[in-house]
């Protein structure tokens, strides 16, 4: 292993090589196809582990940063991703049933051993959250009721289009909504158009995190403005301002009281005046969003039930 590490000219340590070998052995023991869940799990581990900036030719640099003190009860890790590489490959297409892989049309009449793809270089911010604390919040009556409301609509759409029922992870919905707030705030603070930013969510039973990044084939992917916002003071200020600003929507109370909006009514409290972003920036086509999960609602005494309700109340009160 030491010889392999030496031959990499310092790009990889022995420990990193051993971890990668074990990971690949694990994949070989399972099925041959790399599932989306396993791919995201590997990305999450890489982001948590980080990668120092010790090679000018490296395509992934991920540096730890301190968590803003005001959010340290919820956020566990912050990473400044100064360089990342994204490869986008086209392996099928569909016109009517977006996101349903079983209905994808093949790109060619015969199977090929290659796919059309592009490689883009970018930067970003990664934030990891306390999964157990979010799980405790998700088990409260308010969060369970919001999950039930989304589940009813999702099941109705699944039956209408002939899709399998969809599991609703209310923690994922909450972090998805927060990702949109961060994108909106970074478009103001970092000087990027919202359409140049993208989200990637890492949520399952063991992880809770999000990556906001820019990966563009033009100069917008390498300006450095997004990664610079990962510094502790800048991130704390941006998160705080974005949460306070979007705790109110110009369409309230209609927006916050909505029980179904957006495409196929797959959003609750979300509209173009608050958390909707350009669809190229969103993994889920601007669906499964609910601002009330972050800030609570003003009916039924639920003002304090949102994840950031207390923070917003203190910030406005100050």
pLDDT of residue 98: 55
Q: Rounded CA gap, 182 and 238, in Å? A: 8
* DSSP classification of residue 307: T
| Peptide bond just before 24 cis, omega within 30 deg | no
- Which DSSP string do the residues of 24-39 spell out, in sequence order? HHHHHHS-SS--HHHH
Please report whether residue 98 resides in a domain.
no
Task: Indicate whether 147 and 17 sit together in one domain.
Answer: no
Q: Rounded CA gap, 288 and 168, in Å? A: 9
Report the relative pairing of strands 61-65 and 75-89 from DSSP bridges.
antiparallel
Residues in the chain: 318
Q: Rounded CA gap, 69 and 44, in Å? A: 23
Task: Indicate whether 280 and 236 sit together in one domain.
Answer: yes
Asked whether the beta carbons of 288 and 267 are under 8 A apart, the reply is: yes
Task: Indicate whether 265 and 132 sit together in one domain.
Answer: yes
The residues near 285 (Cβ < 8 Å, ≥ 6 apart) are 98, 99, 263, 279
- Domain count along the chain: 2
Task: Indicate whether 18 and 155 sit together in one domain.
Answer: no
Question: pLDDT by residue for the chain (318 residues), tens digit each?
Answer: 566 666 666 566 777 777 767 766 665 555 545 688 888 998 999 999 998 888 777 889 999 999 999 999 999 999 999 999 888 888 888 766 555 566 678 888 888 889 999 888 889 999 999 999 999 999 999 999 999 999 999 999 888 888 888 899 999 999 999 999 999 999 999 888 899 899 999 999 999 999 999 976 655 555 668 999 999 999 999 999 999 999 999 999 999 999 988 888 899 999 999 999 998 899 998 999 999 999 999 877 789 999 999 999 999 875
Please report whether residue 177 resides in a domain.
yes
Task: Indicate whether 127 and 256 sit together in one domain.
Answer: yes
Please report whether residue 281 resides in a domain.
yes
Whether pTM exceeds 0.85 = yes
Asked whether the beta carbons of 150 and 270 are under 8 A apart, the reply is: no
Closest CA to 277 of 212, 190, 203: 212
pLDDT of residue 116: 93
Please report whether residue 16 resides in a domain.
yes
Per the structure, the complete domain to which residue 220 belongs is given by: 62-84+120-317
pLDDT of residue 109: 85
Q: Rounded CA gap, 85 and 246, in Å? A: 31
Task: Indicate whether 149 and 287 sit together in one domain.
Answer: yes
Q: Rounded CA gap, 224 and 199, in Å? A: 17
Task: Indicate whether 138 and 287 sit together in one domain.
Answer: yes
Q: Assign residue 17 a region: left if phi > 0, alpha if psi is -120 to 50, beta otherwise?
A: alpha
Q: Rounded CA gap, 267 and 177, in Å? A: 10
Q: What CA–CA distances, in Å, run from 52 to 2, 20, 68, 171?
A: 19, 17, 21, 31
Task: Indicate whether 26 and 124 sit together in one domain.
Answer: no
Helix/strand/coil percentages in the chain, nearest 5: 40, 15, 40
Please report whether residue 115 resides in a domain.
no
Task: Indicate whether 21 and 71 sit together in one domain.
Answer: no
Residue 168 CA, chain-centre distance (Å), reads: 16
Task: Indicate whether 236 and 198 sit together in one domain.
Answer: yes
Please report whether residue 130 resides in a domain.
yes
Please report whether residue 272 resides in a domain.
yes
Task: Indicate whether 9 and 138 sit together in one domain.
Answer: no
Task: Indicate whether 144 and 271 sit together in one domain.
Answer: yes
Q: Rounded CA gap, 38 and 243, in Å? A: 31
Give the residues across from 278 on adjacent strands: none
Please report whether residue 102 resides in a domain.
no
């Amino acid at each position: 292993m030491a010889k392999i590490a030496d031959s990499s000219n310092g790009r990889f340590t022995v420990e990193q090589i051993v971890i990668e070998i074990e990971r690949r052995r694990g994949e070989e023991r399972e099925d041959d196809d790399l599932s989306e869940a396993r791919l995201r799990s590997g990305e999450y581990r890489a982001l948590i582990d980080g990668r120092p900036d010790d090679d000018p030719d490296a395509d992934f640099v991920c540096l730890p940063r301190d968590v803003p003190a005001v959010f340290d009860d919820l956020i566990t890790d912050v990473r400044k991703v100064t360089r990342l590489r994204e490869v986008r490959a086209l392996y099928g297409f569909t016109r009517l049933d977006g996101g349903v892989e079983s209905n994808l049309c093949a790109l060619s009449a015969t199977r090929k051993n290659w796919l059309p793809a592009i490689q883009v270089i970018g930067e970003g911010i990664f934030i990891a959250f306390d999964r157990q604390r979010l799980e405790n919040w998700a088990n409260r009556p308010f969060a369970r009721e919001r999950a039930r409301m989304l589940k009813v609509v999702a099941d109705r759409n699944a039956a209408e289009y002939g899709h399998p029922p969809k599991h609703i992870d209310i923690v994922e919905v909450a972090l998805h909504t927060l990702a949109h707030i961060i994108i909106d705030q970074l478009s103001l603070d970092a000087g990027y158009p919202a359409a140049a930013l993208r989200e990637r969510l890492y949520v399952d039973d063991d992880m809770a995190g999000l990556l906001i990044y820019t990966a563009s084939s033009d100069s917008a992917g390498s300006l450095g403005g997004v990664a610079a916002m990962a510094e502790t003071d800048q991130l704390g200020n941006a998160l705080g301002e974005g949460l306070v600003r979007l705790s109110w929507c110009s369409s309230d109370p209609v927006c916050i009281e909505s029980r179904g909006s957006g495409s196929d009514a797959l959003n609750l409290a979300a509209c173009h005046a608050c958390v909707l972003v350009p669809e190229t920036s969103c993994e889920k086509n601007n669906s499964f969003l609910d601002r009330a999960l972050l800030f609570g609602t003003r009916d039924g005494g639920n003002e304090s039930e949102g994840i950031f309700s207390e923070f917003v109340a203190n910030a406005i009160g100050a």
